[in-house]
Amino acid sequence: MGIKRNEIEEKYKWNLESIYSSEEELNKDFEEVKSLLNEIKKYKGILSDSWENLYNTLYLYEKILRISENIYVYTHMKQHEDTRNNKNQALSGKAEMLSTEISTITSFIVPEIIEIDENDMNKYMESEKLKQYKKFIDEILRKKPYTLSPKEEELLALSSDIANTAENTFEMLSFADVKFPEIEDEEGNKVRVTHGNFSKFLQSKNRTVRKNAFKSVYETYEKYKNTFASTLSGSVKREIFYSKARKYNSAIEASLFEDNINLKVYENLINVISKNLDDMYKYLKIKKGFLKVDELHMYDLYTPLVSKIDIKIKYEDAKDIILKALKPLGDEYLSIVKKAFDERWIDVYENEGKKGGAYSWGSYDSHPFILLNYKDDLNSLFTLVHELGHSLHSYYSRKNQPYLYSHYKIFVAEVASTLNEQLLMEYMLNNAKTKEEKLYILNYYLEQFRTTVYRQTMFAEFEKIIHEKSESGEALTSEDYCNIYYDLNLKYYGENTCVDKEISFEWARVPHFYSNFYVYKYATGFSAASILSHKILSEGKEAVDKYLDFLKSGGSDYPLNQLKKAGVDMEDEGTIQIALDIFKNLVKELENEM
């Protein structure tokens, strides 16, 4: 049996009471949002009549979103503590219903703003009170070609609750209902495989443990392949439905439009990676030699090259390492990281029913929160520093931007997290005590490239293929998903790897496929972070100041503009190539260590 939540020390659990100290407080906010929704209804049909009506509508809208964000974040994080808890399931469901109600009632705002005569809008914007909403309004007007009539917008908003069914079903099936078998660990003990310990088993020195963990997970997903195919197809169809309804050319165009990203950025990524697969093949060939195996299997990929050392990093030690590694970012940045450690921003350890993986979340009125499933290993250390990057980005955004501009676009979301990882990587390479330790960390650095750049691009290509096939009228079955996914693994891992048939079911366990066209941002973010971290280490304060300005800018500008100001042009193919050249040099360095 796993650890129960009440068996974990308080200091290792996040303090959600800092958002709501009682159920009464939560219910009070539910009621306030309901009241504000009744008030904002009065402006439907008359929003464009005067600048006062426009201002009052936007003021109420902002207030509704701000309070409801507290509700949504709190109820879902409570559910994630133990996904089996019926009360918390009900509360998060109630929050989702409220979100749907908000979307429905406020759906008149965008189409009515779009209908305002240009001359009238220019006069309205002379008001000092409305100037704070200028970018918000400009962003709405940018979407004018893809915005429908008020009645049609209301219908789309009403559909959002149903549209989330596929993702919700996936989460409940994958994280709450599916149980993996027990296997024998390295000591011969029977241990049940979980989402939290799976990665640890894949890094085991014992090949039988790795293989059994790998097979136990993917053979379990195989049993549910048709259900997972149904949920994934439902999610794909949702995106296609909304893109067609709004008259985009495709689902991917609709998704990229949100961040104001050119389709060329997405396609460049896949093209540049595809041209640089030889370096990946070379790395895997070297890995095969290090591991002394006849065949390199998929369950061998996460295995450290050095078996003589075992880097164990307890959580308390991880905190000290991170503070030293992030020192180049300056004292102010470090003081905020210390607050995260000292003020219970972080839910550290796995417990029964807890949501797997890791994330950084929070609301405008709360500090950031981090969900972890910490194991005493290097991967957990890097996961922690990664999520702290997200949290510091959110912290700076919220402190320096008004609510409506505090949410940075997803396109830049992975830059701060990956930059933190790269600073940690450099610190650990520079402070390795032995050749074996340096080799271990060098391999870990290469694995970050493999999993964050190459693997996420493979995911991105998978998404692109399945959406295009679905848009052309193909009904995709579990067999189709498996075949597409298996072929991509063959392409990305090459002839030096034995691509096991079980990997064809991996698509069924990837939650990011339900956040359409998200994963490519890991690869672009890694590339941008590579350049920025190099600038910070080589240029010092000037580069740090530009980087902090980037973090503080939140959602006040478009992502490509923000990165250009920080010193990175993501529309240039060469930016991705710079990251891959770093990978190439690391492979050569690894080869020299053989």
| Phi-psi region at 19: left, alpha or beta (left = phi > 0; alpha = psi -120 to 50) | alpha
CA distance 318 to 312: 10
Tell me the three state secondary structure of residue 297. Answer: strand
Q: Which residues contact 243 (CB under 8 A, 6 or more apart)?
A: 249, 250, 251, 253, 254
**pLDDT at residue 573, rounded to an integer:** 84
Q: Which residues contact 259 (CB under 8 A, 6 or more apart)?
A: 409, 410, 411, 558, 559
pTM for the full predicted model: 0.79
Where do the domains of the chain lie, and which CATH numbers do they carry? 5-163 (1.20.140.70), 167-175+228-311+434-594 (1.10.1370.20)
Task: Report residues of the chain scoring pLDDT below 70.
Answer: 1, 308
User: In degrees, to the nearest 5, what angle opens at C-alpha 230 toward C-alphas 486 and 219?
Assistant: 50
Measure CA 169 to chain center.
19
**pLDDT at residue 308, rounded to an integer:** 64
**Terminal-to-terminal C-alpha distance of the chain:** 42
H helix intervals, 125-164: 128-131, 134-142, 150-163
Condensed to tens digits (0 to 9), the pLDDT of residues 442-471 reads 888 899 899 999 999 999 999 999 999 999
Asked if 311 contacts 439 with a C-beta cutoff of 8 angstroms, the reply is no
Q: Which residues contact 360 (CB under 8 A, 6 or more apart)?
A: 368, 369, 370, 371, 387, 388, 390, 391, 394, 417
Both tokens assigned to 385:
């520093």
Q: How many CB atoms lie within 10 A of CB 109?
A: 21
CA distance 247 to 226: 31
Q: Which of 387, 396, 389 is nearest to 332 (CA)?
A: 396
CA distance 80 to 101: 23
Tell me the three state secondary structure of residue 499. Answer: coil
Longest dimension (CA), the chain: 76
CA distance 480 to 469: 10
Element (H, E) at 265: helix 263-275
User: In degrees, to the nearest 5, what angle opens at C-alpha 477 toward C-alphas 474 and 478?
Assistant: 150
Q: In whole angstroms, how large is the CA radius of gyration of the chain? A: 24
Asked if 214 contacts 298 with a C-beta cutoff of 8 angstroms, the reply is yes
DSSP characters over 444-476? HHHHHHIIIIIHHHHHHHHHHHHHHHHHTT---
506 noted as active-site residue: no
**pLDDT at residue 571, rounded to an integer:** 87
Tell me the three state secondary structure of residue 371. Answer: strand
**pLDDT at residue 294, rounded to an integer:** 94
Q: Which of 40, 240, 254 is nearest to 146 (CA)?
A: 254
**pLDDT at residue 1, rounded to an integer:** 54
Q: How many CB atoms lie within 10 A of CB 274?
A: 12
Please give the single-letter amino acid code of residue 9: E
Burial of 564 (0-12, 13-18, 19+ CB in 10 A): middle
Task: Give me the catalytic one of 69, 81, 171, 387.
Answer: 387
